[in-house]
Amino acid sequence: MVDAIALRASETVFELAESPLWNPDSHRVLWVDIPTGRVHSGTLRDSTIVDTRSVELGEPITAACLARDGGLLVSTQRRLVAIDGAGDRHLGPDILPAHRRNRMNDGACDSAGRYLVGTLSLDGEKFAEELLQVEPDGTVTAMRSGIGLSNGIAWSPDGARLYHVDTMAHTVWVAEYDVASGVASEWSELFVVDGEYPDGLAVDVEGMLWVAMWGAGQVRRYDTAGRIHTTVRVDAPHTSSVAFVGPDLDRLLITTATSELSKSERDATPDSGAIFIADPGVKGMPANRWGGSTSNPHWGKTGGSASVENSGTSKNG
């Protein structure tokens, strides 16, 4: 059953659009195009994105997060980059294990200002990925291991439950989350999506999960028991992520991709790679912000490598 249809909002199509955000300071929507290394933004006018702008880093960008000081924190393939309010860039060190060929993927901030970001395999090794937690002081902790492909990250409205998508396991996981310490415990399967690939996700004010379904051309609204309440159809099979946007956080912005589509598939779905807008009938939660400094980040002070700590059993799933 289809409850809503998303409308194409962008004139341009992107190779792998991801990590959508609403910036309430500028009243603009943001997203990244991973392979081109660009952060894009635009003004949402009715159901169309206008006045688009972009910032290019010269390396792939996998996710972006607003910062409390007005800047932006982005994850590239292997490091974090802080972009301050003046547009100056502060490059962090490589924070991934040297023995692996992988990269960072989707990321999000908790309400205390920590950045959580997962990894994706580039060497074919299966279920060897991690979920990392980066403190505002630059300390990096491995929270979970044994992940197939780390994707969407979000919290319940009260911040007490952490949701995490493992795309290759077709699973949305949940953990009890202590915001004060950043410890995630009691990891368990929230629900499994049989035969399909969950990707990015967002949580609404009622605690429901909106999950982009890669390969299905849909965004689905799930309750925490895994029941589908709403299905939004998107005229692009590779729906990659979703966010609530607009001054009232009552619009649903959906990113899509041309990546992994054959020429015949692209010809059959010419809207693939575009940004879409839908009206979900419910409001979303505002995006949490990075608590570190983007103008003088920790790694800028030390000039050294980030400190990577083993989380032990308390944070492993």
Judge whether 199 counts as a catalytic residue.
yes
Rg (CA), the chain: 18
For residue 20, what are the CA distances in angstroms to 196, 224, 287? 22, 23, 10
Enter the tokens of residue 186: 């009691």
Contacts of 210-215 spanning 24+ positions with Cβ under 8 A: 210/242, 210/252, 210/280, 210/284, 211/152, 211/165, 211/172, 211/242, 212/152, 212/239, 212/240, 212/241, 212/242, 212/254, 212/255, 213/239, 214/167, 214/238, 214/239, 214/240
Whose structure tokens read 């996710």?
Answer: 63
Nearest to 79 by CA among 67, 66, 68, 63: 63
Distance CA 191, CA 277 (A): 26
Whether 44 contacts 9, CB under 8 Å: yes
Beta bridge partners of 238: 214
Q: Select which of 33, 84, 199, 204 is catalytic.
A: 199
Q: How far apart are CA 203 and CA 121, in angstroms?
A: 26
Count of CB atoms within 10 A of residue 10's CB?
A: 24
Look at the chain and count its residues: 317
User: Please, how many CA atoms are within 13 Å of residue 6, restricted to the half-sphere of its CB?
Assistant: 32
List the catalytic residues: 199
